[in-house]
Amino acid sequence: MRNVGDNVKRSFSVAGILICLAWGFTAPVYAEQKTVLIISFDNSDQGDITSTLYRDVVDRISKHIQKAGFQTTETAGLGGAGDQPSLEQEDEQLLSGLRKENKIRDHAVVIDYVAIVQIVANMVLLESGTQINVEIRGRMLRVENSDVLARFALPVPNYFVAPPSCDRNCVIELLQSNTAMIADGLGHVLGQRLKNGTD
């Protein structure tokens, strides 16, 4: 029999997403077409729960950004290991690198905005199962001048409890069903912010 003192709480990053929002210049006919480049962090150590949830969230965000008039493409990136820089340092390193890339690109995609999205879950072991609290956090930045266009920390309205019998697939389904509404809402807001910023 567990008591309250035996409860185990742990926090982990379920998925990291880096979304680069760009004007597309891949060919003259598409000169006015807007493109969203999605770079996924390599969180392979967190397994298929991470990749499955990530795919669902990215698909939902992409759908709303496309509705706002942007195309979406995707490539893979590295999540990094060891000591991590502060958010400000991380952002400036990212933006500095993108500015340099933008200057040397010829007939390639030029990156105008970056949205960094992270899914975080807090899990508490209970006698009745595992309580899971989920939040989507992040920020959207303008590459040219480092302006912060948006910051967000969007918790799923209610925590949910996975029963003791809940296996990996069960956990994935619970996470997907409880993040779907938030991911849709976030995608809509980001799409509108981008649309308003480029009108």
What is the torsion angle, in degrees rounded to the nearest 10, for the CA atoms of residue 141, residue 147, residue 148 and residue 150?
A: -80
Neighbouring residues of 36: CB distance < 8 A, sequence distance ≥ 6: 19, 20, 21, 22, 62, 65, 66, 70, 71, 72, 73
Distance of alpha carbon 141 from alpha carbon 148, whole angstroms: 5
Tokens of 17: 């997403």
The count of other CB atoms within 10 Å of the CB of residue 36 is: 26
Distance of alpha carbon 195 from alpha carbon 199, whole angstroms: 6
Residues across the chain:
199
Of 154, 187, 184, nearest to 21 (Cα)?
187
Neighbouring residues of 11: CB distance < 8 A, sequence distance ≥ 6: 120, 121, 122, 123
Query: How does strand 70-76 pair with strand 34-40?
Result: parallel
Distance of alpha carbon 169 from alpha carbon 31, whole angstroms: 43
- Check if the beta carbon of residue 43 is closer than 8 Å to that of residue 50: yes
The pLDDT-based confidence of 2 (bands split at 50, 70, 90) is very low
pLDDT > 70 in the chain, percent: 64
> Distance of alpha carbon 64 from its chain centroid, rounded?
14
Per-residue model confidence as pLDDT tens digits over 120-129: 777 788 888 8
Q: Is this prediction's pTM over 0.75?
A: no
Among 73-77, 111-115, 178-182, which range has the highest average pLDDT? 178-182
9-27 burial, b at 16+ Cβ within 10 Å, e below that, comes to eeeeebbbbbbbbbbbbee
Q: Please, what's the largest Cα pairwise distance for the chain? A: 69
Q: Output the pLDDT for position 184.
A: 92
Stronger pLDDT, 49 or 90, i.e. the higher one = 90
Per-residue model confidence as pLDDT tens digits over 29-67: 344 555 666 655 545 445 566 677 778 888 898 899 889
